A and B are shown apart, each in its own frame.
Chain A
Amino acid sequence: MGEFVQLIVSGTATGSIYALAALGFTLLWQASGTINFAQGEFVMLPAFAMLFFVSFIGAPLWLAFLLTCVVAMLVLGYGFKRGIVDPLIRHGVIPLVIATLGLAIGLKSIVKAGYSAEAHPFPSPFPAGQFVLGGINVSYADIGTLLLAGLIVISLQAFLNKTVTGRAMQACAQNTDAARVLGIDVPRMVLYVFLINAVLAVVAALLVTPTYLAKFDMGESIGLKAFFAAIIGGFNQTRGALLGGVLIGILENLVGFYVSPAYKEGVALMLFMLVILFRPEGLLGKIEERKV
């Protein structure tokens, strides 16, 4: 029983990282109809940016994290929106999907050329070791990851639900035209979503890279799982992304331990297929009707 709970805890911690990246997927989709298939690379880039600040400037990890947040908001938030999304979104989703797929390949190639294809160590924001909680061994890293990811998600929910700006952003997501009639600055709200997505990617990078190690292709798996998590939970629900991410993290851990690690990577795909077949709107998603 102890091992089962331990696997659930560490699976939830891993899943919460997938959830952060998945949240970005759902937020971008809701606010601007953007599907970003470079989301995994949006996690990989901040990892290398933090490494740069730590290695070359000698900044402590927390400072590197803050600096990276600023850079990410500029490049992965503002730059991505203005440079790629704005010019392409008017042509529909497909050109944007293709563009982000190309962007993912380009980003990987740039990092590979600059940092080599080898993995690089990344400092953990949490101490090593573990403690006993109710007879179960729990690592500081798992608890720290859970707490930080949980804090980010709760703060984001509070921001979206309790603040005027957050409500305005939700209004834009629900009905852009109505929001504009109500005097909401829609482009500004959409930009905020892109900035939030960039910060979520930096937090995901901070939490996942000590385990994944900083490597040019580390985003492939994260991006794919985050996409699956968003679909499983419901692409039009931020809570759904959270559920999808955690579900994948836990099931991967349980299957890897009790069945075989060989099947672990297939868990997200299996779940994704089941959801698409039997509940295409996602576990917490709502059916959307669109006029054609």
Chain B
Amino acid sequence: MKQHPRLAAAIFAFAFTVPALAQQKPIPIVGLMELSGTGATAGTNFDNGVKLAVKEINAAGGILGRKIEYTSMDTQSNPGVAKALAQKAVDQSAYVVMGPVFSGSIIVSMAETKRAEIPNFTGGEAAGITQQGNPYVFRTSFTQSTAMPKVAKYIKDAVKANSVAIVWVNNDFGKGGRDMMAKALDAQGVKVVADIPTDPGQVDFSGAVLKAKQSGADALFVYTNEEESARALRELKKQGYDKPIIGETTLTGQKVIELAGDAANGAVAHVGLTVDAPQPTIKAFDQKFQGEYKYKSDHNGMKGYSGMYVVKAITEKIGKTDSKAFAVAMKGAKISTKDHPGVLLDVTFDQNGDLDRESFLVKVENGKQVVTSTLPPAAAK
């Protein structure tokens, strides 16, 4: 039999090259974002944060030598659309799914990613998201059960309020927050004297503010989405409300301040992430984000950005792009800014997918968020 050394060499080379080429294929990551509808502010910021991180990671050589191929799709702030797009993400063999940001959407859509065993990062804060035993869902922000006790403590100790009126948005996010807040206030001995639900996308807050004023509460807690928060603040100013206005995360977001204008001044909120925090990693992020998008990011932009860097950190830790192994590695993961500055703050994840890290109390002064204190991670207490 005649031997063909050249042919054998070619086959040999081909056999080794094909897997190598496959290795270089980009990593597909899909974003399910609220790019229109009531969640457009949150979704657009989150999406921009993810895109910025992807751009940086790809410029630095990607993850494990592979570039990220990020595609974002618009859920229209509609849980039904989000669920359909989650299925599409599964069909596209996404390694990780980012979003949706709205609690109501992730609660519906995560069934699809769970079924396909794809890790799913969300910006949703409703406590119920991580209480359903889904091993593939992970947060990019605090759960309400972590944040609300901090706010309640502030209301009791710093504001010295004995009674509170709560204005909340009647969706999964708002209802979850309202329940957690009522529980946390009760634990502090603070009475809820007015419980005022509002509609998602509500335009006119005159009735809600009138009810809050009439309640005679020592302080007002506002827990609505961004646009509604801005409208509520405008109406509060319009009606001359003069008691402390306190919120959690959304109330003092950059977009809310921009939309509410002067009406945002004086509002206080507990925030998990803010670009006005003193940490060098956050300052660097702020600079890069503003350079890229010509506006200041809100907490959602930071959630998307840091979430993407968590994906990078965990993937490098497991040394492969294996969705199942990724989800397992997330349990109890600790990621420090020393090794991964992109995560912005040292962060730990628990067995449920909830995260813990430092947080901040901020006050809006002259149209800017001012950090008044840095609170330690809940586990540090």
Chain A residue with the shortest CB-CB distance to B235: A211
Q: CB-CB < 8 A to A30: which residues of B?
A: none
Q: Residue A55 at the B interface, CB < 8 A?
A: no
Q: Judge whether B230 and A252 touch: CB under 8 Å.
A: no
Q: CB-CB < 8 A to B40: which residues of A?
A: 116-119, 215
Known: A117-B35, A129-B237, A130-B240. A256 touches B44 (CB 8 A): no
Known: A119-B40, A252-B204. A211 touches B231 (CB 8 A): yes
Most buried by B among A130, A256, A257: A256
Q: Judge whether B207 and A212 touch: CB under 8 Å.
A: no
Q: How far is the CB of B253 from chain A (nearest CB, A)?
A: 12
Q: CB-CB < 8 A to B207: which residues of A?
A: 7, 253, 256-257, 261
Total number of A-B contacts with CB less than 8 angstroms?
89
Chain B, 227-255, contact with A by CB distance < 8 Å: what is the 0/1 string?
Answer: 10011001101111000000000000001
Is the contact region of chain B dominated by helix, strand, or loop, or is it mixed? helix
Known: A128-B263, A261-B198. A213 touches B231 (CB 8 A): yes
Contact partner, B240, options A121, A129, A221, Cβ 8 Å: A129
- Residues B33-48 near A (CB distance < 8 A): 35-37, 40-41, 44
Q: Judge whether A10 and B206 touch: CB under 8 Å.
A: yes
Category for how many chain B residues contact A: 35 or more
Q: CB-CB < 8 A to A256: which residues of B?
A: 204, 207
Known: A117-B40, A211-B204. A3 touches B259 (CB 8 A): no
Q: CB-CB < 8 A to B203: which residues of A?
A: 211-212, 221
Q: Judge whether B204 and A253 touch: CB under 8 Å.
A: yes
Known: A117-B36, A211-B231, A264-B199. A137 touches B240 (CB 8 A): yes
Chain B, 43-62, contact with A by CB distance < 8 Å: what is the 0/1 string?
Answer: 01000000000000000000
Is the contact region of chain A dominated by helix, strand, or loop, or is it mixed? helix
Q: CB-CB < 8 A to A10: which residues of B?
A: 204, 206
Chain B residue with the shortest CB-CB distance to A3: B210
Contact partner, A128, options B170, B197, B211, B238, Cβ 8 Å: B238
Question: 6 tightest A-B contacts by CB?
Answer: A257-B207, A117-B36, A117-B40, A256-B207, A10-B206, A121-B259
A sample of 19 more A-B contacts (CB under 8 A), given A117-B36, A118-B255, A211-B234, is A14-B204, A120-B259, A121-B261, A128-B237, A128-B238, A128-B263, A129-B240, A130-B240, A139-B238, A211-B203, A211-B231, A221-B203, A252-B204, A257-B211, A261-B198, A261-B199, A261-B202, A262-B197, A262-B199
Residues of A within 8 A of B (CB): 3, 6-7, 10, 14, 112, 116-121, 123, 128-130, 137, 139, 141, 210-213, 215, 217, 221, 252-253, 256-257, 260-262, 264-265
Interface CB pairs A-B, < 8 A, 30: A14-B204, A116-B44, A117-B37, A117-B44, A118-B44, A119-B227, A119-B255, A120-B259, A121-B230, A121-B259, A121-B261, A123-B261, A129-B237, A130-B239, A137-B240, A213-B230, A213-B231, A213-B259, A217-B36, A253-B204, A253-B207, A256-B207, A257-B210, A261-B197, A261-B198, A261-B202, A262-B170, A262-B197, A264-B199, A264-B204
